[in-house]
Amino acid sequence: MNTASKKIVFVRTESWPYANVKMAKVIQDEFQEYEVVIFEVYDKIKSQPFIVFRNILEVFKVYGWEIFSGKKRFKRCFWRTPYIFHEMRRQIQEFILSGNFLFSFQIQSLFDASVEGLPHFVYTDHTHLANLSYPGFDRTSLYSQNWIDLERSIYLNASLVFVRSSNILESLIKDYQCPPMKVICAYAGSNAVDHDANFEKKEYDKKHILFIGIDWERKGGPDLVAAFELVRRVHPDAILTVLGSSPEINFPNCHVMGRVPVDDVGKYLRDASVFCLPTHLEPFGVALVEAMASKLPIVATNVGAIPDFVHDKSTGFLVSPGDIQGIANSLIALISDPGLCREFGEKGYELARQRYSWSAVGRLMKSYMIKVIS
């Protein structure tokens, strides 16, 4: 088969989050002999007023009561109606069929970019039904059964499904009846850290705790603040820095920085002694990987993908969501012992370097994809 003139189509919702950009580069780096063409679904849909208006009606038809009652957010519901799913699929297929492509690749699972007869790969950090594994998750918070059935078709129509973590691999097999041989755990890389940076002189005696997260409530920010108050009773000189969120925190030694450019995140990671993310629900948690790549010991919760890389009493401490005393005890243990911080940080760094880099992800994916497209 002559593949010289073929291209690769990379389908994503938009350029955000940053992993959408990183992953496109990974595919281009691994298949340098082919041009990667990017198709952004959200921009395509938003440019067509009739489809937007029609889907607004569908949103309120399917989720209206839950939106008015505050149980669901309109923006998230907009991309989870059967109508918009089929419309995205139709427009993606039209684009792919108009070109000459070697294979299609999509990141995340809000649409189906498969075309019959063309190898197709999916890379996702979540499934919707994986939410059922989180403590206290309300089953009535799920989206419509019709939409969940369409989500299942994404995975079943793919040649292979790559995931970032073992819990999502298990969900695909158990909740969506995907054949095990079609699902591969490829992990993910860091967005803000250079794995080749020199951390030999990293210090751990500053008692500096770092939190990074945009969704303050979901990421467990209030739990961390409550725990930090307990930490300061033992270590009044401890410092907490918050990136990504802008909560009102009114006590000493707490610095709220809000959102910062991704290129600036590295300096905060380098200056910290401990990283803490006591999240309640987490599809993956790339900030944790970035912290490990910066040789930081971790305090986090035992949910979602986190136990894949935060190994309790090895690369950090794991606690249950909402366990404020457990968070405080773990932070106190670390900032009281710079040697333990260094030990955990070194182990986490090695794991991040070997498994959680975009180049490692790309090599692993290509080794499986070649078998499908050859």
Place 195 in a pLDDT band, splitting at 50, 70 and 90: very low
Whether residues 265 and 232 share a domain: the answer is: yes
Span 241-253, average pLDDT: 92
Q: Residue 101: what residue type?
A: F
Q: Does 197 fall in a domain?
A: no
Burial of residue 183, with CB atoms counted within 10 A of its CB: 0-12 exposed, 13-18 middle, 19 or more buried = buried
Compute the distance between CA of residue 292 and CA of residue 97 in angstroms, rounded to an integer.
42
Whether residues 282 and 325 share a domain: the answer is: yes
For residue 1, is pLDDT > 50?
no
Whether 27 contacts 362, CB under 8 Å = yes
For residue 237, is pLDDT > 80?
yes
Q: Does 288 fall in a domain?
A: yes
Whether 310 contacts 298, CB under 8 Å = yes
Compute the distance between CA of residue 337 and CA of residue 326 in angstroms, rounded to an integer.
17
pLDDT tens per residue across span 107-155: 999 999 999 999 999 999 999 999 999 888 889 999 999 999 999 999 9
Compute the distance between CA of residue 21 and CA of residue 320 in angstroms, rounded to an integer.
33
Whole-number pLDDT of residue 348: 95
Whole-number pLDDT of residue 261: 87
Q: Does 196 fall in a domain?
A: no
Whether residues 221 and 180 share a domain: the answer is: no
Span 263-289, average pLDDT: 91
Place 2 in a pLDDT band, splitting at 50, 70 and 90: low
Compute the distance between CA of residue 324 and CA of residue 27 in angstroms, rounded to an integer.
42
* Residue 67: CATH number of its domain: 3.40.50
Whole-number pLDDT of residue 285: 85
Whether residues 228 and 366 share a domain: the answer is: no
* Residue 269: CATH number of its domain: 3.40.50.2000
Q: Does 214 fall in a domain?
A: yes
The closest alpha carbon to 85, from 148, 177, 178, 155, belongs to 148
Whether residues 101 and 217 share a domain: the answer is: no
Q: Which two tokens mark 293?
A: 């790549």
Whether 127 contacts 168, CB under 8 Å = yes
Q: Does 15 fall in a domain?
A: yes
Whether residues 248 and 139 share a domain: the answer is: no
Whether residues 332 and 280 share a domain: the answer is: yes
Q: Does 195 fall in a domain?
A: no
Whether residues 46 and 123 share a domain: the answer is: yes
Whether residues 299 and 245 share a domain: the answer is: yes
Annotate 104-141 with b (16+ C-beta within 10 A) or e (fewer): bbbbbbbbbbbbeebbbbbbbbbbbbbbebeeeeeeee
Whether residues 116 and 212 share a domain: the answer is: no
For residue 337, is pLDDT > 90?
yes
Whether residues 361 and 340 share a domain: the answer is: no
Q: Does 348 fall in a domain?
A: yes
Whether residues 362 and 336 share a domain: the answer is: no
Q: Which two tokens mark 354?
A: 């070997």
pLDDT tens per residue across span 47-81: 999 999 999 999 999 999 999 999 999 999 999 99
Task: State the Cα torsion 25-27-32-33 to the nearest 10°.
Answer: -140
Span 93-98, average pLDDT: 96
Give the chain's domain count.
2
Q: Does 312 fall in a domain?
A: yes
Whether 80 contacts 143, CB under 8 Å = yes
Per the structure, the complete domain to which residue 31 belongs is given by 7-189+357-373
Whole-number pLDDT of residue 76: 94
